[in-house]
Amino acid sequence: MRKGREGAGRETKGAWMSTWTTQTICNGTPEDVLELLTEPGAIARWSPVPFTVVDADRARLSAGDRVRVRGELAGRGLEFLVDVAKADDGHLALTAVGPIRIDVDYRVVGDARGSSLRARIGVAGSGLFGRVLAGATDALLAAGALRMAVDRIAEELEPAALAA
């Protein structure tokens, strides 16, 4: 059962990067949550921005992995190189670099209600095109895309979803 969800918030890191944070309670162990955070097929189901993994021939993302992803943002086809810094012990940290930079940090901690999942995404763009795309990404996040993504993760761990 999910409880205690906080809405997405915006913090500013200097003039060039915005950071978005949200959290929820998931009905599962930290290991269950981390599995959804690192399995490419599952990521495509809950990601705040739709994408396709171009060259992932692995069942799970691991620290040190580099994968290419393609997606669309603001009506433009985009490609990013994703570097996974950490993918264990309840922590997924990665950076996606393309026309904009996206820093992603998910942390999962077990508690009496299941697992607390905190998600943080930083977005930065440089140059005219990068700033426009960063602004479009910020608009998606401001509209609740990150909150909806963590909700989808939690929904996948609900008993009815696990039985399906």
The domains located in the chain, with CATH, are 6-158 (3.30.530.20)
pLDDT in tens, 124-143: 998 888 899 999 999 999 99
Of 156, 145, 161, 155, which is closest to residue 47 (Cα–Cα)?
A: 145
Asked if 83 and 66 touch (Cβ cutoff 8 Å), the reply is: yes
pLDDT in tens, 32-79: 999 999 998 888 889 887 788 887 677 899 999 999 999 888 788 899
| DSSP classification of residue 130 | H
The pTM for the full model equals 0.85
CA–CA gap between residue 97 and residue 14 (Å, rounded): 19
pLDDT in tens, 62-121: 999 999 999 888 788 899 999 999 999 999 999 999 999 999 999 999 988 889 999 999
CA–CA gap between residue 84 and residue 48 (Å, rounded): 18
Q: Structure tokens of 115? A: 């697992």
As a whole number, the mean pLDDT across the chain is 85
